[in-house]
Amino acid sequence: MERFPDSGLRRVAAEVSSTARQLSDTAESLGRPHPKLRFLAGLSIVAVILGALGALIAILARVDESGPARITEIAQGIEATVNDIVFLGLAIYFILSWERRAKRRIALGALHKLRSLAHVVDMHQLTKDPDRIAHPQPDTASSPERAMTVEQMGRYLDYCSEMLSLLGKIAALFPQRFDDSGVLEAASDIENLTIGLSRKVWQKITMLQDATA
């Protein structure tokens, strides 16, 4: 961005570059197992199973102390056992999903940051109007400063397009490293967003080329 040392786009480009490196590492980390979470999940599952076994042993001990169980007591015991098994399964499933839910939260947070950056890049190209070069008109008091030459505006818009493309490519890394439907949908939305915004930028570049042909 040496061509525009004092522009806001230079600061945005620096942020995009820094974010791209950071989120690339984040996407790579999502594809690797999380040892601490898996260790905690294993301990929690063992604790839940031991607790369920302890409760079952206590129930059997009470049945032995009260003598032969009646039909109704047996039925109630079976129902309670089935309920315990169901809740035990739900608890284990919830614990096993800790890692996935944690990774999903990290991925969606990163994708939200990419979406915000895409809108920031789009804001910087809004005031770059090739039509003002093809059909110059007097500025008003509210008109933005237009000091760029044709070549500078073309390069400026090209930088915007490149940054949008980079943001879309970084978003695509997340569903590649982490297979999750929510992450895939969010990444697809960002890719569609950056493609649509980049298309607008290239329409301006085409208009600029036609105006100077």
Q: What is the DSSP string of 85-108?
A: HHHHHHHHHHHHTHHHHHHHHHHH
What pLDDT score does 179 carry?
86
Contact assessment for residue 121 and residue 60, using Cβ atoms and an 8 Å cutoff: no
- Output the tens digit of pLDDT for each of the chain's 213 residues: 556 666 777 888 888 889 888 998 888 888 777 677 667 777 777 776 776 676 666 665 655 554 554 556 555 655 666 666 667 666 667 766 777 888 899 999 999 999 999 999 998 888 777 766 666 666 666 665 666 777 888 888 888 999 999 999 999 999 988 888 899 999 999 999 999 999 988 888 888 877 666
Q: What are phi and psi of 153, to 5 degrees?
A: -65, -40
Query: Interhelix angle for 98-125 vs 35-65, to 10°?
Result: 140
What pLDDT score does 146 carry?
64
What pLDDT score does 150 carry?
77
C-alpha–C-alpha distance, residues 192 and 195, integer Å: 5
C-alpha–C-alpha distance, residues 127 and 203, integer Å: 14
- Distance between the two ends of the chain, CA-based, in angstroms? 26
Contact assessment for residue 182 and residue 104, using Cβ atoms and an 8 Å cutoff: yes
Q: What is the pTM of this model?
A: 0.70
What pLDDT score does 81 carry?
62
* DSSP, res 55: H
Contacts of 178 (CB under 8 A, 6+ apart): 27, 30, 31, 103, 104, 107
What pLDDT score does 124 carry?
83
Residue 190: enclosing H or E segment and its boundaries? helix 181-211
What pLDDT score does 168 carry?
93
- Own/partner pairs, 91-97, CB within 8 angstroms, 24+ separation: 91/48, 92/45, 92/48, 95/41, 95/44, 95/45, 95/48, 96/41, 96/45
